[in-house]
Structure 1
């Protein structure tokens, strides 16, 4: 007879987390490979908007990061055509140039040593929600990783190629994992590539749900204690790794050219 039926919820959650650490293994992919896969995953998830948007990840040397080459769409990114750039967007390895809008990524990386990957895209539902000048409302369990972790910038500062936009976006983001930018799109600042990719998928899903719910009636709030519990339960490295591995398997089935191995 199993003893788990007398265990508390906290005990069961602790046991499950321990099992995840045992059974969910690291992928073994390099930073370049995970970044290329993220580009393909988010392309398939509707995050492409022509050449708009940037996805970056810290590289091995301080003050450097990987990003895509300006002129290539997310569906064209491979581990071999990514650029290595410094904070001034000078290319250290690779051909071509980085998107000048990457400047605000440099500001976020400077301010947030906990951030290892930044996703900025303009997916359809996020962009539509941004036009209403309202924050993202997290009122459904699947979107709980973003509960009280998505900031809102209500004033559009213009094209983010200047230092002032970097300062404004970084200040508005604060210590949160994501931000909705009015009349623009979103930014996700993840503790790892897996987390950033997972949250980027979720923020578009959340915006789609919110628009549908707003059209049907008034959105009811989640109970704060339970929502925070769900946030902490779902936003763990192992769960992000498992999410990413699933998304990556789907992406590789469609885009086997993304990585060499």
Structure 2
């Protein structure tokens, strides 16, 4: 059996998260084409207040700055900042409450993930670059509606069932992480995987990655050194693209 190569931290890659990292995460998602009007949310658990950090309602990902970031409690009451939270982040509160290992959540509506969710099948792992989802992506086969209540939070939390990602029929994906960097990393690669799957399905059936190979690649790709270095690169790329 091949042993997974363990990597040391890459110089310049941020470890941990603060307000600047949260803003950078929003810019990455904008530059990667994940903005769809006001749909989608990104949050980060605040260990001091027990609440979560999020963008003010009406703020686009590419507009993120310290001036439009909020700290809200589990009921979405604003504790710090100006404005109110997107009501869609209510289900994030449910996930944080029932999954203490989760420190950040990203849910966006990018084109390929949204399209793949219309096919009614679990997230495929048919390419090694998607191996971070091997045995680590739950599946919700029925989507009930607008996720602004506790029912949707309970359903999504159940679909995660200890996994980092949940794929939602007729909707898209919810990606969680032990760090904000990890949640963003998964969200961006989920969209990339969906795009590859749709391209391949236009030609023929998918061939899933061998489970043993996928398991090894999963562990390799989710090493903090790789996650954080990728995030740092995406930040530089986003700031160039968005001229920030």
Per the normalisation by structure 1, the TM-score is 0.89
Structure 1 segment 239-250 matched on structure 2, within 5 A: 239-250=226-237
**Contact 2:12–2:232 at 8 Å: present in 1 too?**
no
Partner in structure 1 of residue 97 of structure 2? 110
Q: CA deviation at 1:196?
A: 0.9
Alignment of 1:153-164 (within 5 A): 153-164=140-151
Give the match for residue 61 of structure 1.
48
4+ aligned runs moved over 6 Å, structure 1:
none
State which structure, 1 or 2, has the greater radius of gyration over its C-alpha atoms: 1
Structure 2 residue aligned with 1:78:
65
Distance 2:16 2:98 in 1: 27
Q: Is residue 54–residue 102 contact of structure 1 (8 Å, CA) maintained in 2?
A: yes
Q: Note the residue ranges of structure 2 that are not aligned, 5 or more in a row.
A: none
Q: How far, CA to CA, are the matches of 2:23 and 2:13 in structure 1?
A: 17
1:13 to 1, 5, 28: 5
Give a deviation string over 1:66-85, Cα, whole Å, max 9, x none.
00000111111113320000
Contact 1:66/1:84 (<8 A) preserved: yes
Larger RCO: 1 or 2 (CA < 8 Å, sep 6+): 2
**Cα offset, 1:242, TM superposition:** 0.4
- In 2, Cα distance between the equivalents of 1:85 and 1:168? 22
1:24-65 per-position Cα deviation (integer Å, ceiling 9, x unaligned) = 455278521111111111111111110001100011314211
Q: 1:42-191 residue pairs with structure 2 within 5 A?
A: 42-191=29-178
Unaligned residue ranges in structure 1 (runs of 5+): 1-7
Shift of 1:134: 1.3
1:199: Cα distance to partner? 0.7
SS in 1 for 2:139: strand
User: Structure 2 CA distance, aligned partners of 1:125 and 1:219?
Assistant: 16
The 2-side partners of 1:256 and 1:116 are apart by 29
CA 28–129 in structure 1, closer or farther in 2 if over 3 Å, else same: closer
Partner of 1:238, secondary structure, is helix
- SS of the counterpart of 1:188? strand
TM-score, structure 2 length as denominator? Answer: 0.94
Residues 57, 118 of structure 1: 8 Å contact kept: yes
Asked whether the 8 Å contact 1:194–1:240 carries over to 2, the reply is yes
CA RMSD for the aligned pairs? Answer: 1.7
Deviates more, 1:96-105 or 1:144-153: 144-153
1:173-203 CA-to-partner distances (Å, cap 9, x unmatched) read 1111111111112100111011111111100
Contact 1:31-1:57 at 8 Å conserved across structures: no
- Cα distance in 1 for residues equivalent to 2:194 and 2:155: 23
Which residue matches 1:35? 22
Q: Secondary structure at the match of 1:119?
A: strand
Cα pair 2:15 2:228 within 8 Å, conserved? no
